[in-house]
Structures are given as C-alpha cells and as structure tokens.
C-alpha cells in the first residue's frame, strides 16, 4: 500500500456551520472545543492498523458537508421503520430522529411514571456527564466531527431498579437529503443500578450519496441488564463510520446485537469495556454484503475488571464483488483475573469475486484468564450440502436451507424477539432475490454440464 499524505479536515466542515447549530451554551462550547481539536487532526488512512482493509483512502471528505439548521426536513424511507415497529409490537418509547435532529419522543405513561427519561440533549441545561466518556480514548477525526457537527443527541436514562418490559425504539432516519450530506446521529443510553431495558436502534437513509457517522454510548450501572439491537439498513450509496461503545458495571450484562445490511462502505466499531467485577458482554452481529458493498467491523473486548466475561460471535456472508472485514481484539488488562473471553467470526464467501478478511487478535496482560478465538472464511460447506441432498433435498433448496441456517443460528439469539422475526424475513428475501437467484443459475449450469458429461461405462 502506498503512503498517502496525511489529510486534514476540509473546509466544507466550517466553524460557521459549527456555530450555527443549537443554542445551548454547553453544546456550543462542546462543538467549538471539538472543532479546535479538529484543526490539528488528520483523517485516518489505510496504513493505520485500525483502518487496514478499509476503504477510508477513497473517502473524499471535501465532497461532503454537514447538515445544519433547525429544520429536520422530511423522512427518507419510513417503510422499514413501520415494518420494524409492527414486528416489535408494544413498546415503552419511540424516538424519531431525522437528519440528526430529534423530531419526536413518545414515552408511555408507565415508563414515564417509573422515572425513565428520554430527551434530546439540546433540551438539557447541562451536559450529560457520561457524554463522550464511554467512548473515552477511542477518539479520532470522525468522533471529533461528531462532537462538532452532531445536531443533537438522543439521551435515554433508565433509573436504578426500574425494569422496562417493553423496548425503547430509536429510529435514526437520514431524511431527504441532497448528495454529499454528512450526518452525525448520536445516542447515549444509561441504566442505573439493577435497571433492565431493551433498546432497538434502526438506521435508515435514502438513495443519495451520504456520509453517516452514528455514535452510540452505553453505560450500565452495577447489576443492570441491557439488550441493545442495532439494525443498519442504510441506502446503498451511504457511507457509514459507526461507533458503539459500552461500559459494563459490576454484575451488569450487555447483550448487543448488530445487523449490518445496508450501506456502500459500512464500518462499525464496537468497544465493550468490562469495568466492573463479574460484568458480562455478549456481542453478536450478522452482516450481508452483495453488489460492491463492504461491511467492515472492528471490535474491542476490553476486560478491565476481574471475573468479567465476554462472548463475541460475528457471522456474515458476501456475494458478487462484496467484501467484509473483521478485525477484533480481546484485551485482557492487568488485574482482569479469571476473566473469560471468546471471539468467533465466520464468513461465507458465496461468489468468486467476493472476499472476506478475518483477523482475530489477543492482547493479554494478565496470567489468570481464559481466551479463545475462532475464525473461518470459505464457501458454503460442501459436506452440509451433500448431507441434505442425500436426504432427497434438491441442491438449490439445500443451499437455501444451509444459508438461512447459517444466519438463523445467530438470529435466534437476537435479544429482542420481534427483531429476530423481522430480520429473518429480510435476510431470506435478500438471499432469495440476489445471492441465491444467481447461485441457482450457476447450479443449473453445473447440473446440465454433469448430464452432458460421460456416463460411466
């Protein structure tokens, strides 16, 4: 890879646009501070370890400009939001953000009475103490751009001891935009001690060429339980650079589930910091790439406290000329005694032109720990196909069963039941329309070739 000159943040991201959005004093100060730091920050490049295999060198940031002003504009593709909402059923809250501005917050009366608070940060007189702190050192030009240009932050808090039975649904719609819009949707979720909740976050955009930089920070108090589902269904011309950071307190449990389906280049960085004794983090993701999509995942399982557990399972398939990248690190900090971590990444490569990179890593600074990692890249398992065919299942149906099964295996673990069903239908349709349709044509050709071939004497 040739070295390219360090790139600075272009002038389309100007101070004027930074100043013109919002009027809360703390928000403006936060933006200005970030903006000043940005001036001395360069954009990452593919020669940086964390950006290897990415497409970041292709990003022409100067061709994008942040969306500003007080008007959220109109929705882009609310259809998937409606489907998701009906699949989920009853909910505690629905937050609708369009182009990074919070347009509506519906919180049911029960949740409100229990002290659950959901509001745009722009309505808060003081900066939420946790904002930026969960993300912590995982800071770069994109997180600074978010601080400087995010129009608002969805802030959710479930107080100590409160168990929310129905999920909180957050819809981040990029809205109707011109090509070249840059958007910075942002979410902060905190659970007090012993609280329980489920959050489902949907990201959608239209067909325009957009840059979307979503950042979600999650803070779990001691003994809290959170299910966090992220559904990325961005348009096929959208670039995404996403960050999801979590801090898990003592005895707390995070069950995170990511479905990455959309985007042109879609990057998702996951950092889960197990900060309290006996905390647990379950990090699951499914992804699907076809056409020329790139699904790019970076994960960090940061075990700081003793007896912490993390399990990561990322599974995806790529077809056509799509690519996927998985690079993950289990980091056992000194003192994380008897911590237990695993990471598993499995990739199906369904076409000759498709490609998957899978790079699991370990960084262990403590002796008394358990770590395991597994990674696989390959075509659909021929033994599995033969086994099903030997039962009398035709090859094209055997492929569909194996492929759907590959995803179902993980979809069945989606922490929000409605999400599993919703995704199962989408994945099945995507496979049937795209990947499998072209595979079936190939299979038909193979069968014809075999019939034309030499019959044993």
Partner 1 sequence: MSTLTISGLRAAVGGREILRGIDLEVRSGEVHAVMGPNGAGKSTLSHVLMGHPGYEVLGGSVTLDGVELLTLATWERAQAGLFLAPQDPVEVPGVPIGDVLAAALIAGDRAGEAAPAVLHAKMAAEAAEIGLAPVFLERAINVDASGGEKKRIETLQLATLGPRFAVLDELDSGLDVDALRAVSKRVERATLDGTGGSPKLGVLAITHYRRLLDELHPDAVHVLVKGQIVASGGPELADELERTGYAGYVEPEVAPAAIGPDPFGGLFS
Q: Which is nearer to partner 1, 186 or 346 (CB)?
A: 346
Q: Is-contact 394 363, C-beta < 8 A?
A: no
Distance linking the first and last C-alpha atoms of the chain: 55
Q: Which is nearer to partner 1, 395 or 434 (CB)?
A: 395
Q: Which residues contact 146 (CB under 8 A, 6 or more apart)?
A: 184, 186, 213, 215
Shortest distance, position 382 Cβ to partner 1, whole Å:
7
- 348: enclosing H helix or E strand: strand 340-349
Query: Tokens at residue 192, please?
Result: 């007090």
- Describe the crossing of helices 141-149 and 25-39 by its angle, rounded to 10 degrees: 150
Q: Which is nearer to partner 1, 208 or 384 (CB)?
A: 384
Alpha carbon distance 130, 337 (integer Å): 27
Q: Which residues contact 172 (CB under 8 A, 6 or more apart)?
A: 97, 100, 185, 187, 201, 202, 203, 204, 214
Q: Which is nearer to partner 1, 60 or 409 (CB)?
A: 409
In the three-class reduction of DSSP (H, G, I as helix; E, B as strand; rest coil), residue 78 is classed as helix
Q: Is-contact 71 103, C-beta < 8 A?
A: no
Shortest distance, position 283 Cβ to partner 1, whole Å:
19
Q: Which is nearer to partner 1, 200 or 398 (CB)?
A: 398
Q: Which is nearer to partner 1, 48 or 446 (CB)?
A: 446
Q: Which is nearer to partner 1, 131 or 286 (CB)?
A: 286
Report which of 146, 134, 142, 333 is spatially closest to residue 226, judged by C-alpha positions: 134
- Cβ-in-10-Å burial (0-12, 13-18, 19+) of 407 comes to buried
- Cβ-in-10-Å burial (0-12, 13-18, 19+) of 101 comes to buried
Query: Tokens at residue 269, please?
Result: 């960085």
Q: Is-contact 159 223, C-beta < 8 A?
A: no
Q: Is-contact 233 204, C-beta < 8 A?
A: yes
Shortest distance, position 388 Cβ to partner 1, whole Å:
6
Can you give the C-alpha Rg of the chain in angstroms? 22
Shortest distance, position 376 Cβ to partner 1, whole Å:
12
Shortest distance, position 397 Cβ to partner 1, whole Å:
5
Cα dihedral 238→183→272→333 (10° resolution): 100
Instruction: Specify the residue for token string 């309290």.
Output: 276
Shortest distance, position 28 Cβ to partner 1, whole Å:
50
Alpha carbon distance 100, 242 (integer Å): 14
Shortest distance, position 396 Cβ to partner 1, whole Å:
10
Alpha carbon distance 9, 141 (integer Å): 8
Shortest distance, position 380 Cβ to partner 1, whole Å:
11
Shortest distance, position 381 Cβ to partner 1, whole Å:
8
Q: Which is nearer to partner 1, 90 or 456 (CB)?
A: 456
Q: Is-contact 162 224, C-beta < 8 A?
A: no
Number of residues in the chain = 457
In the three-class reduction of DSSP (H, G, I as helix; E, B as strand; rest coil), residue 235 is classed as coil
Shortest distance, position 187 Cβ to partner 1, whole Å:
31
Q: Which is nearer to partner 1, 144 or 285 (CB)?
A: 285
Shortest distance, position 263 Cβ to partner 1, whole Å:
25
Q: Which is nearer to partner 1, 137 or 451 (CB)?
A: 451
Q: Which is nearer to partner 1, 135 or 420 (CB)?
A: 420
Query: CA of 269: how far to CAs of 44, 234, 310, in Å?
Result: 14, 16, 16
Q: Which is nearer to partner 1, 1 or 412 (CB)?
A: 412
User: Residues in the site for partner 1, rule: CB under 8 A?
Assistant: 381-384, 386-395, 397-398, 401-402, 404-410, 412, 447, 450-451, 455-457
Shortest distance, position 348 Cβ to partner 1, whole Å:
11
């Amino acid at each position: 890879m040739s070295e390219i000159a360090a790139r600075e943040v272009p002038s389309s991201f100007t101070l004027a646009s930074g100043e013109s959005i919002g009027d809360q004093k703390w928000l403006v100060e936060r933006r200005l501070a970030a903006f000043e730091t940005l001036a001395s920050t360069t954009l990452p490049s593919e020669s940086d370890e964390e950006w290897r295999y990415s497409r970041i060198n292709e990003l022409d940031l100067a061709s994008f400009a942040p969306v500003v002003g007080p008007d959220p504009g109109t929705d882009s593709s609310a259809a998937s939001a409606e489907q998701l909402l009906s699949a989920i059923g009853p909910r505690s809250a629905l937050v609708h953000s369009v182009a990074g501005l919070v347009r509506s917050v519906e919180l049911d009366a029960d949740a409100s009475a229990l002290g659950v608070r959901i509001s745009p940060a722009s309505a808060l007189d003081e900066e939420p103490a946790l904002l930026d702190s969960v993300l912590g050192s995982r800071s770069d030009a994109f997180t600074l751009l978010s601080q400087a240009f995010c129009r608002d932050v969805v802030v959710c808090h479930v107080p100590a001891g409160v168990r929310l039975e129905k999920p909180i649904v957050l819809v981040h719609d990029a809205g109707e935009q011109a090509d070249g819009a840059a958007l910075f949707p942002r979410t902060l979720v905190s659970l007090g001690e012993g609280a329980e909740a489920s959050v489902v976050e949907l990201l959608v955009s239209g067909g325009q060429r957009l840059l979307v930089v979503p950042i979600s920070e999650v803070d779990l108090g001691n003994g809290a339980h959170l299910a966090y589902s992220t559904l990325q269904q961005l348009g096929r011309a959208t670039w995404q650079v996403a960050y999801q950071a979590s801090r898990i307190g003592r005895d707390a449990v995070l069950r995170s589930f990511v479905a990455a389906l959309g985007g042109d280049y879609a990057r998702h960085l996951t950092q889960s910091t197990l900060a309290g004794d006996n905390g647990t983090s379950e990090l699951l993701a499914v992804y699907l790439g076809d056409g020329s999509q790139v699904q790019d995942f970076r994960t960090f399982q940061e075990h700081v406290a003793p007896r912490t557990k993390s399990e990561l399972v990322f599974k995806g398939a790529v077809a056509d000329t799509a690519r996927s990248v998985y690079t993950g690190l289990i980091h056992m900090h000194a003192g994380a005694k008897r911590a237990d971590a695993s990471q598993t990444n499995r990739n199906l490569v369904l076409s000759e032109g498709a490609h998957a990179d899978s790079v699991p890593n370990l960084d262990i600074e403590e002796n008394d720990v358990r770590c395991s990692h597994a990674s696989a890249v390959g075509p659909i398992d021929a033994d599995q196909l033969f086994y099903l065919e030997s039962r009398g299942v035709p090859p094209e149906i055997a492929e569909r069963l194996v492929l759907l099964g590959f995803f179902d295996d993980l979809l069945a673990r989606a922490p929000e039941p409605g999400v599993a069903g919703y995704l199962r239908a989408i994945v099945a349709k995507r496979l049937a329309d795209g990947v499998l349709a072209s595979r079936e044509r190939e299979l038909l050709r193979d069968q014809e070739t075999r019939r034309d071939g030499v019959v044993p004497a």
